[in-house]
Structure 1
């Protein structure tokens, strides 16, 4: 339900705040006071396209806000979650529209900017405006089958649920089948390609850590000459046979002899001598190792060539199948799995086709049962609608539910359902959307809502122009039906008829005020005495008299028996 509506800088409205209540809310006011402007503002909240002409003269932008309470609105909450929008813990939802002078507009839900299409999807389950075709769920023929099903019993709904469950499963199987069923030549080409790639990778006999080992070995073999040259130089430095040049070992031996000669004077020096001698032994071991290494160097050109070929093979596979050996091996495993799936497709295709056929049989069987149940609902619904419309003074009305059996079933079964109507004698049955009169449309919607009042999920209903062309007893009946609807829904109704206004739970008066050449609209919620005055005005009294006051009081008193 709509808790609050805030309108700022919109047409002749400066800053307007209306707090609505549960039940039956009525808005009245003289012609031109701004009732239609309020409906236009609500229309923007519901997703109407904006127009910069809405902006109040002298202002840069208009802002319209509506605060909703999401009572029993699980569908809306689910939709909000799918859009990533959080609703408040108290189940409130704030919708904002901004219109700017440059023609741009913005839509926000709880502070999240959304598209106009998203806004329409959210609000379509919150509000119906009767009198403006674009907001009437009944005018969309795609909704008619859902509306008929609302009137069905639990057994009908169970069959419908089973059809939908099977239909979703059917689509899933069809999608799987479409992914694996391909042209036979394409299938063979794919098999050949995958086999070739697997064989090419397998022929390389790749090992996970092989590449680093190959690089190290190749680096060593390709630099053996340089290694031998440097090691020989090191060997000469450490232990030279050249008597003209002293080696490291020679110098260390000299140090050892000196320390030995002076150690007799100080025992601490003996430790230095020991350390030097250990160093000499270590260097002598190092000299032997270096000599053995370069003396055993094998300049194997053939082995180097083999390494180069191996590395080239790996690089070739890397260019085609992955950046590393591990990636190549992973790719190989993946395409082997894909190959097995393609090879086994024929068996899988057979199983899928069989399952699809069985589901089609199930869906058709359930659809035929559902169709029979819908026909019963349709017959009862047609009679109820004609009775309701007759009571609303639409004496020449003809109403029919068109029902066709489709060749192929869909998620709703095999039925195509559409509501048709003729409002005047001699006119053919037409789609509801072809009805021009807002008053007629509002009464048709009122009749329909009176029938489905207990099962309709839309929480707020706004009736505009519902009193067009009616008066007297018909107006009284319209008011009674709105009261009945307001027991389960919030109703906002704009009316000129006292019979309807008298039955409201909350009455709002819309006034246009002129001050120093400026015009603005204000809205006030009426107390009992103010309501008496407004009803008296609606009854036709220019001045409030005792007679009109008594008449107004009597109307309010009489309205209580319908609540």
Structure 2
């Protein structure tokens, strides 16, 4: 419920602060006093777009703040989804800067206008002429029927199953689409895969082959260099090994003459061992080097295959080719098994569809069961609202397609007078008739749903007397289970509120300002008397006002 509203620098409002209570509250005031301004300010804090024309003082920012008690509105998931701090008492603030920019906050956390609008729609339902047109939409009409039918749980189950069904159907369509293109691509993918499978694709293979190619291509030169090196090392008289061995023998005799000579002898011994090892390795390499033109041709062929594949697939490494091969293998396998996959998915879709159909049938049965109750309720209340000849023709039939709220086609026809043809509400009902029908339907929803705060903006326009009295009764009854506001020009409706506020204008500093105040019991009597008879209040008007207030 709306606990308080604070408005600064908006339209004709300089500063305004007002607190509200639960139940049914009426708001009155002369035409042009600013009731629409008050409603406009509240609309801004609920997510309506704003512009600079909203500012009273163009050099100062406009601030609108509303405090709500939201326990029981089941909004914790909404707050969590939008990274907002949940609190039973929630404060929404909207700021409009002189630059034209707008900022919004929920419990001091900045939010986008879309989030603010979504939250506002779950906190306050402002009923205007535009909102009355929703009455003519099938989705809204079904919502009313579902409220009476207590279909909320069935609709939630249906919605989950519909989502699962749609997902499975999309997967089936994707498989079928893949099958259509599979025949064209399968042969090509298989050919590419065979090419890659025939190639020597192993990590490091390209580097190994390139090294082997270099050795085979230069075998004669390698052998010649190794042979020369071996000769330099092992020549009996001039070889490095023999000369180093002689040098070691010379210093062997000196090793006994001090540590310096001993260390030098040890170093020569280490060098000799290393040189002998190098000589042995050169001999081993000489034996391994093979002048093999056949192997060279084979290596060249393998490398050329790898180079061609890299160029063809526009990659630069063996690892990338291996990844492409794995991807092609997966595609070829998918196509090979696609028929069985389609059959399995098709069976799954049919089973899900059958389950969904059963849920839709249950929802339809419940809807049909409460249509007589809804018609009776509407006719009874509309008769009391001055429409004794109103009648409805409401039919529900299975639809060909699953919809978000079931699988039904709804026919909701109306006739205001006996003997008149039935027609769609938007075509045959007048604005006043639509307002009365909407009020009656809202009273149904208030009984069966947890509705947000509801504000009726002059829903009683065009009616008077006993009809206005009955409309006031309906809103008063709604106020027993929820917070209801009625902006009204009718004293019969205004008197029904458990509290009454008056919107008025005052002038100061050469400017006109809109204000609102809660009326005391005596002030309500005067206000109602003025609504009944004008500024010149008669004794009969005062008596009538007291009678309306039962004081």
Length-normalised TM-score, structure 2: 0.81
| 1:93-132 paired onto structure 2 within 5 Å | 111-114=109-112, 116=114, 120-132=117-129
The structure 1 residue matched to 2:189, chosen from 172, 188, 194, is 194
1:288 to 2:286 alignment: no
1:311 to 2:308 alignment: no
TM-superposed deviation, 1:335: 3.6
Provide the alpha-carbon RMSD of the alignment. 4.2
Alignment correspondent of 1:145: 142
Distance 1:135 1:93 in 2: 29
1:503 to 2:496 alignment: yes
Tell me if the contact between 1:398 and 1:423 (Cα under 8 Å) persists in the aligned partners: yes
Alignment correspondent of 2:14: 14
Alignment correspondent of 1:180: 175
Tell me if the contact between 2:95 and 2:104 (Cα under 8 Å) persists in the aligned partners: yes
Deviation per residue, 1:338-386 (Å, 9 max, x gap): 4333333334434444554555555556645543442331122112112
Aligned in 2, Cα 1:198/1:445: closer, same or farther, shift over 3 Å?
Answer: same
TM-superposed deviation, 1:417: 1.9
Distance 1:264 1:359 in 2: 99
1:454 to 2:447 alignment: yes
Distance 1:2 1:249 in 2: 108
Deviates more, 1:168-177 or 1:34-43: 168-177
Alignment correspondent of 2:27: 27
Distance 1:453 1:13 in 2: 33
Tell me if the contact between 1:87 and 1:93 (Cα under 8 Å) persists in the aligned partners: no
Aligned in 2, Cα 1:507/1:259: closer, same or farther, shift over 3 Å?
Answer: farther
Deviation per residue, 1:469-507 (Å, 9 max, x gap): 334443333232212212222212212334433333443
Deviation per residue, 1:300-342 (Å, 9 max, x gap): 4543443333233234434528665445444434443443333
Distance 1:365 1:119 in 2: 38
1:171 to 2:166 alignment: yes
TM-superposed deviation, 1:47: 5.0
Tell me if the contact between 1:218 and 1:308 (Cα under 8 Å) persists in the aligned partners: yes
Deviation per residue, 1:26-71 (Å, 9 max, x gap): 3222221210112223344455454554343634765545444443
Distance 1:61 1:428 in 2: 55
Deviation per residue, 1:105-157 (Å, 9 max, x gap): 666666455365x655544443322223147753432222122111015xx66
TM-superposed deviation, 1:462: 0.7
Alignment correspondent of 1:561: none
Tell me if the contact between 2:491 and 2:531 (Cα under 8 Å) persists in the aligned partners: yes
Aligned in 2, Cα 1:58/1:250: closer, same or farther, shift over 3 Å?
Answer: same
| 1:162-241 paired onto structure 2 within 5 Å | 163-164=158-159, 166-182=161-177, 186-218=181-213, 221=216
TM-superposed deviation, 1:388: 1.1
| 1:91-490 paired onto structure 2 within 5 Å | 91=88, 111-114=109-112, 116=114, 120-134=117-131, 137-153=134-150, 163-164=158-159, 166-182=161-177, 186-218=181-213, 221=216, 250=243, 254=247, 257=250, 260-261=253-254, 263-266=255-258, 269-294=261-286, 296-319=288-311, 320=313, 324-357=317-350, 360=353, 363-364=356-357, 367-368=360-361, 370-401=363-394, 403-423=396-416, 429-433=422-426, 440-490=433-483
Tell me if the contact between 1:47 and 1:119 (Cα under 8 Å) persists in the aligned partners: yes
The alignment partner of 2:489 has SS state of coil
Aligned in 2, Cα 1:181/1:68: closer, same or farther, shift over 3 Å?
Answer: same
Aligned in 2, Cα 1:185/1:364: closer, same or farther, shift over 3 Å?
Answer: closer
Aligned residues: 549
Deviation per residue, 1:500-527 (Å, 9 max, x gap): 3333344333222222221222233445
The alignment partner of 2:447 has SS state of coil
The alignment partner of 1:444 has SS state of helix
Tell me if the contact between 2:241 and 2:272 (Cα under 8 Å) persists in the aligned partners: no
Tell me if the contact between 1:85 and 1:112 (Cα under 8 Å) persists in the aligned partners: no
Aligned in 2, Cα 1:4/1:222: closer, same or farther, shift over 3 Å?
Answer: farther
Tell me if the contact between 1:321 and 1:327 (Cα under 8 Å) persists in the aligned partners: no
Aligned in 2, Cα 1:67/1:312: closer, same or farther, shift over 3 Å?
Answer: farther
Deviation per residue, 1:380-436 (Å, 9 max, x gap): 211211211222334454444354543455454442225444557887555444689
Tell me if the contact between 2:236 and 2:242 (Cα under 8 Å) persists in the aligned partners: no
Tell me if the contact between 2:179 and 2:338 (Cα under 8 Å) persists in the aligned partners: no
Tell me if the contact between 2:52 and 2:58 (Cα under 8 Å) persists in the aligned partners: no
Deviates more, 1:234-243 or 1:212-221: 234-243
Gaps of 5+ in 1: 559-563
Tell me if the contact between 1:129 and 1:136 (Cα under 8 Å) persists in the aligned partners: no
Alignment correspondent of 2:507: 514
Distance 2:157 2:323 in 1: 43
Distance 1:248 1:549 in 2: 135
TM-superposed deviation, 1:467: 3.0
Length-normalised TM-score, structure 1: 0.80
The alignment partner of 1:39 has SS state of helix
Tell me if the contact between 2:248 and 2:269 (Cα under 8 Å) persists in the aligned partners: no
Deviation per residue, 1:219-270 (Å, 9 max, x gap): 5556667766776787788778896xx9697478547735743x44435643
Aligned in 2, Cα 1:498/1:238: closer, same or farther, shift over 3 Å?
Answer: farther
Aligned in 2, Cα 1:423/1:284: closer, same or farther, shift over 3 Å?
Answer: same
